Every structure is written in C-alpha cells, then in structure tokens.
Amino acid sequence: MGARPAMSLLSGFTIGRNASKLYYPMVESVRSALPIVDEFVVALDKGDPDDDTEARLRALAEPKLRIIDRTWDPRRFESGSIFADETTFALEQCRSTWCLYLQADEVLHEDDLPTILEWCERYRDRPDVDGMLFEYLHLWGDYRHRLDTHGVCRREIRIVRSGIGAYSYRDALSFRKGANQKLQVVRIPAHVYHYGYVRPPELQAVKKRVQEGIHEGHAVSIAQASEGPAPSYDYGPLGDLPEFTGTHPRVMHDFIARFSWGDRLNYGKRRRGDPVLHKHQRLKYRLLTAFERTFTGNHEVIGWKNYELARPSPAPRLQAVRAKTRAAPGYEIPVLMYHQVLQSKDQAGRFDTWVLQAALRRQLEKLARDGYETVTFRDLDRPGGARPRIILTFDDGYEDNYTTLFPLLKEFGFTATIFMVTQLRSNAWDAVQGEPAMPLMTPEQAREMSAYGVEFGGHTRTHADVAHAPIEVARAEIAGCKADLEAWLGAPVVSFAYPYGATSNAAKQLVQEAGFRYGIATKSGPRVLLEDPFQIRRIGVSYRTGMLKFRMKTSGRYHDRLNGFPSALIRRVA
C-alpha cells in the first residue's frame, strides 16, 4: 500500500450573492489569491437572474476555481446566521492544510503573497497554531481615504487550519472551534485591503438595505431596496480622514478606473445638512482614537478580540540571531527613529520630525540612568549582556546630527545609526514642499563620527521612494548609496532605511541584492525584531514625545498588548 500523499499547502474560499450588482470586487478578490492557492472554493448563491458574478468568474477559465451552486435558506437569515452557515460550508470543502478566507470585498496585495506562503510553510507543522491574523486596511468613500480609528477592525483571522473543527463565527467576520473556543493564531505581516465602503453612494445605500433585511430575518431584493426616493449614502466629510498614500493591489486597477462619484463626495471637514453620524465621527470614538494615537502607539485601549495569540516561530535562518538580541524573556530591542536635532523651535519647519537638543538630553539621561546599552545594527550578531539594549536611528544625515547630536553621544558614551542621503547637500525632497532648506553632513563629518563608533546606513542617493520608482532607478539609488558610503568610510555598510518608510517586496529584494543585511522601515513590518530583517519596524520620536511616552517607547515591550497598553509599562507605572 503506497504512502498517503501530502496535503496541499493552501486553499482559498469565499461566499457570495449578487456580488456584481452590489458592486463587490469579488472577481478581483478571487484573482488576488489565485497565484498562491492550490484551489479556490466559491460557494455562490444564484441570486438575481441578471447578476453576472458566476459568468465573470467562469470567464477566468481558471482550473483552480471550484464554483459550488448554493441556495440560501431564508430561515437562517436572522442575525446574519446565513453568512456563517455558508462560510462554514465553503471552509469544509477545502482540501489543504491551510484555508484562506476572503470576503467578497477583501483583496490581497501582490507584495504580500510571498510572505503568506512563507508563513504557511513555517507553521505547517505547528499543530498548536490554529490560524493566522492579518492586518486590515479599510478604504472609505473613494480609493484615496482610509479609516484607522478606534472601533474599526484592525486585524482578523483570515487563514484557518483545516481538520480542527473550525467554523465561521457570528455573521462570518471570524472563526472559532469546538465548544466556542477562540483560535490560537499568529500575526502575519500581510494585509487585507477592504473595499466594503467604496462604491457609488446609491449602491452603498442599496447594499445597506439588503444587508439590514437579511439581519432582520427577511430577504430584501435589490429591486425592493431601490424603491422609493432615490437612495443615497452619505460617507460624511472625507477631509477628516487620513489619505491612503500606498499602492492598491494590481488586480484592482481596472475596477478602480471605474470610479465616477467624486462629485457626490464631501472632501471638506464639515458635515453637510443633518446626515447620519458614522461611528468614527462620534465624539467617544474620536477621543479614544486621539488617545491611542498619542499614548499607545495606535493600540486599542478598550477592545474585543476573537482570538488568542500563539507563540511565534522565528524564521529558521534567524533563530540563532534572535537568541542573541534579547536581554530578558519577552524583551525586544527598541529601535527608535529620529530625524533632526534642533537647538531652537525657530529652526523647525511644518513637519514634526524633529526634537530639541534639551529634550534629547533628557531622554539620553534617562537611558543612562536606567542602564541601557546603545547598539547598532552591526552589533545584532553578537550576544548581549545583562543590560537592556536599544538602537537610536537618525534619518537623512542632517548636519545638526554632527553639530548637535554628536556632542551628546560623546557626553553619554552612546552610539547611534545614521541613515545618510549621499548625493544631496540639503533636504531638497522636503524643500519642494515648503520646508526650510537644511544642510546635510559632509563626508568628512561622517568619517569623524564613524571613527567614534557611529554606524552609517544607506538612505538612497537622493531620498528616492524606492518602493514606487522604476526598478532600475531604485536599484541605482540603493546600490549607489552603499558604494558612496563605503568609499567615504572605508568600511562595509550593512543597514538601509527606506525613504518615507515605503517598502515593497521588490524594494526589499533590491536591498538584499545590494549586499545590505538589514532593511529598516518606519511603521510597517513585524512587531518582533528580526522576524523580517528587511522590514524592521521602528518607533518614532519627535518633539511631541514627552517623557511618559518616551518611557513607554523604550520599555522593550512597546508592541505587546494588555488591552492596548504595553504590559511592562502598566506594571511599572502602577
């Protein structure tokens, strides 16, 4: 009798009904996952005769696609139970170790696909891990604004292990197993792009009525939802929302090109008339959002989560290095991000990427009192001692890093890492936006600081956005910067910081090809140091950072959660 064949790695699954008529990017959602799945199961209710979702899916002529005809049971409509029923049915049809769930308005970015596969392989033989948690990016109103407020789903389970008795929970937002048990999951550095609130206002209103009818226990057809006065949905003032400056998944480009309702949106900051107040506009949520952004690193203070975090597994090639980076169990080396160090507020521009020399002195005094050892990225391959370690980074290579920062480093016996733009003599990239022109360091100044022990890393030749530049331009900026610095310093350069914090898989690959050992981002990347050595997350410090907040940011557990607060901080402040 032959050996049983190994299960395939990853299946995809989703459900739908009248997706095309309700402006769901369902076909784009399925297409976004096809490159990495072995099969994709679509449990599709027939819906209205003139809905062409099934025809559009079949037109893909994709052998991985398995479309299963379904008829939704009206008796299961109340409270949205039908959504959970159909999602569980689709999950049960999957035949791989892992099952990837995408709702019809959720899309993966092509840059995240290699990461998803890598993590599925890494945890394939970890039966204690039930699933994987994705970060969410919510678009709102159009394709240029996003929701990132308290109460918005910031992360959710989107990969589930098969064969553990998992089922869709409540109205299909998440999953549980067994007797209402939460899943043990790991957080994966990948995103779900959620387009559920980006459609023409009249269709958003119709979709809302259809969904409300199902939750109330009765079917409301699209025709019925469209009856009466012309329906329209008020997205509210978009001027209060942060702009989305990243790139959309490629599969969405044609869908996005259909955007045609901009003249019906409010791009100001004030409400028009007396519209319904959306959740993110209510005072309670605005206050909580402001508090979280100021004091908790945007971690939810009060929140409910439908999962338990399992112990993560480092990438195999990094296990030895990771063992050397922790001074104590659970401690992660904080990587702080600074830019300019000014002597007076009068020197400051409109951006908040500066600190005063007096404030930085107080911060360094605190680090010295608490016994911190400052290290650089060059030091990460050597064992640490009993002292907590911290990395101080400064972007761009401003001359004030030499005239103002350098004396402080020598005074306290500290070191730092400076990411240097090599072929500009001032901050031309900011000056075009109205910032005061500020000089950058000279090669001679960099050599003097390097001789003292300051590490210099690459930051491109001209502060180029390498995540979005043409590939050859990005390659020349990255490799050329490394060559410039090594010529200046006569020593290898091992670290690179992405200008603007903009990363992509292509940019990370170029950084690795150029010979750098570390790629440093800003607010993206895993919250565990060296989980991804080419997308290392940092903790920003600016003139707004008071000493209480600085204490939080240097705790070594800033990214841990205890109802949104760093657990170590709560213990130490209490």
Residue-wise pLDDT tens digits, 153-162: 888 999 999 9
Q: Is residue 435 part of a domain?
A: yes
Claim to verify: residue 237 and residue 336 sit in the same structural domain? no
Among residues 264, 295, 326, the one where a domain terminates is 295
Q: How far apart are CA 182 and CA 167, in angstroms?
A: 11
Per-range mean pLDDT, top range of 298-312, 474-488, 558-572 = 474-488
Q: How far apart are the C-alpha atoms of 373 and 364, rounded to whole Å?
A: 11
Q: Which of 71-75, 188-192, 195-199, 512-516 has the highest mean pLDDT?
A: 195-199
> What is the DSSP secondary structure assignment for residue 434, as one 8-state letter?
T
How far apart are alpha carbons 82 and 390 in whole angstroms? 51
Identify the pLDDT of residue 217.
76
Task: Tell me whether residue 2 is in a domain.
Answer: no
Confidence check: pLDDT of 352 > 50: yes
Whole-number pLDDT of residue 559: 55
Q: CA 536, CA 18: separation in Å to the nearest integer?
A: 42
Q: Are residues 68 and 179 in the same domain?
A: yes
The reply to whether 72 and 36 lie within a common domain is yes
What is the percentage of the chain residues whose pLDDT exceeds 70? 90
- Amino acid 569: pLDDT: 32
Domain assignment of residue 1, yes or no: no
> pLDDT of 101-122, one tens digit each?
999 999 999 988 998 999 999 9
Q: Position 326: which residue type?
A: R
pLDDT average, residue stretch 159-186? 93
- What value does the mean pLDDT take over residues 17-37? 97
Assigned domain for 304 exists: no
Q: Are residues 215 and 263 in the same domain?
A: yes
Same domain, 273 and 351: no
Domain assignment of residue 67, yes or no = yes
Q: What is the pLDDT of residues 263-316, one digit of tens each?
A: 999 999 888 776 678 888 888 888 887 777 666 555 666 677 889 988 776 555
Residues 270 and 383 in one domain: no
DSSP character string of 325-390: S-SSTT----EEEE-EEES-GGG--SS--EEEHHHHHHHHHHHHHTT-EE--GGGGGS---SS-EE
Q: Are residues 395 and 491 in the same domain?
A: yes
Whether residue 436 lies inside any domain: the answer is yes
Provide mean pLDDT across the span 335-340: 95
Most confident of 154-168, 202-216, 329-343, 558-572: 154-168
CATH number at residue 123: 3.90.550.10
Examine the pLDDT at 563 and tell me if it is beyond 60: no
Predicted local distance difference test score (pLDDT) of residue 6: 62
**Is 268 found in the same domain as 397?**
no
Nearest partner of 10 among 102, 72, 73, judged by Cα: 102
- Distance set, CA 262 to CA 148, 235, 258, 269, 427 (Å): 21, 11, 11, 15, 35
Choose the final residue of a domain: 239, 266, 295. 295
Position with higher pLDDT, 384 vs 552:
552
Q: Which residues contact 1 (CB under 8 A, 6 or more apart)?
A: none
pLDDT tens-digit readout, 70-82: 999 988 988 889 9
**Overall average pLDDT of the 2-13 stretch:** 75
pTM, two decimals, is 0.62
Strands 335-338 and 389-396, sheet pairing: parallel
Per residue in 115-150, pLDDT (tens digit) is 899 999 999 999 999 999 998 999 999 999 999 888
Domain ranges, residue 219: 8-295
Total count of domains within the chain: 2
The CATH number of the domain holding residue 407 is: 3.20.20.370
pLDDT attached to residue 296: 55
**Do 183 and 257 share a domain, yes or no?**
yes
Q: What is the pLDDT averaged over residues 533-545?
A: 92
Residues 419 and 540 in one domain: yes
pLDDT tens for each residue of 406-436: 999 999 999 999 999 999 999 999 887 778 8
- Ramachandran bin of 50, using left for φ above 0, alpha for ψ from -120 to 50, beta for the remaining angles: alpha
Checking if the pLDDT of 450 tops 90, the result is yes
Instruction: Answer whether residue 143 is part of any domain.
Output: yes
Asked if 215 and 334 sit in the same domain, the reply is: no
Residues 374 and 277 in one domain: no
Q: Which of 243, 262, 295 is the last residue of a domain?
A: 295
Q: What is the mean pLDDT of the chain?
A: 87
